[in-house]
Structure 1
Amino acid sequence: MGNEEVDIILEFARGEEKAFRVLYDRYAVALRYFAAKYVSDENVIEDILQDAFVALWEKRTEFRVENAVKAYLYKVVRHDCLNLIRHKQVENKYAEKILQEGDEAESFLDQILESEIFQVLLTVFDELSPACKEVYRMSLNGDSHEEIARKLNISINTVKKHKNNANHYMKERLKNVLSILLWIS
């Protein structure tokens, strides 16, 4: 390690702007070329370099040899380039998702409407008597009248009665909701 290199690092550590300029002039071109391997936009590359040299300046007291400065700069530039690439990939995935879903506002409103309808259905279902609710739930799960009667130890006619009562009650409670849905669509 030559005296000039030691002097530059010592001056740089003391905050000498002239030493900083020497380091910038030595490494900026190579770092620009290095960053171009990851990023094609010249303005973005300049921002990355500027950020790297600002970070270097902030840590200037930590360096004892010029090779450490050089290694640090390459590491920061690479890290920033990779972060930028990752960020762009996330943006692209999000944009694709939005395009696939169609119009964002319409999709958002559809999701709200679906959630509200689900909440109304759940509320009305919870208003059923426990026996009607159990029979209806089992029926929705695909159990036949015979299976429900056997599992609950009740007659098939009782199963039909509970199911009929549940259907009638829910139809009556939801008729306004159904009218609104037909009007909206």
Structure 2
Amino acid sequence: MQSQTSFSSDKILWETFKQGDKKAFAMIYEQYIQALLNYGHKITQDESLIEDSIQDLFYELWNSKSKLAETDSIKFYLFKALRNKIYRNKEKNNFDVIDENQPLPDWLSEVSTEYSIILQEHEESQLSHLKKAIQKLPKRQQEAINLRFFHDFSNEEVAQLMGVNYQSACKFIYTGLRFLKEHIIYPILVVLITSYFEKF
């Protein structure tokens, strides 16, 4: 299989796939399947709905590849498409999607590499404290922080993924981080969170 380093950017990989390259398509699948499964669990706890939606997504991607829009962020494109697919399949099949007030499932195992290193440096009690603090946030704040800091999307991309305007996305992130900053005591994470507030 052609190595990932053969493609200098997401845009080139995506364009190669759109031209019918099966290796590029397989690379996209292998690179993002786990992230998509993880993100699916932020939306619903129904395994069948998640798996069926991902299967539908990749089936439709291949069959309509020449008609797809361009993108320079494959992860963003797939996350948005999966979110829409899950909600459409839910409406069609009456699956149980997580409601607005239900806490999201545990997603601390899915943090970005930078945050994984930081969190691994702390005792289990501190990790448990962070998880409990996050679970106290409203669902929309949890999702916004998850997308912004643990999947590395920009504020603009978070807004698009969540289907809200830019100001609302920023408010979800700001309010959630403010709560965590007040409830997390270990220094490194506090410094990282504080750095976000310096932009305002």
TM-score range, shorter chain: 0.3 to 0.5
More helix, by proportion: 1
TM-score (norm 1): 0.40
Larger Cα-atom Rg: 1
TM-score (norm 2): 0.37
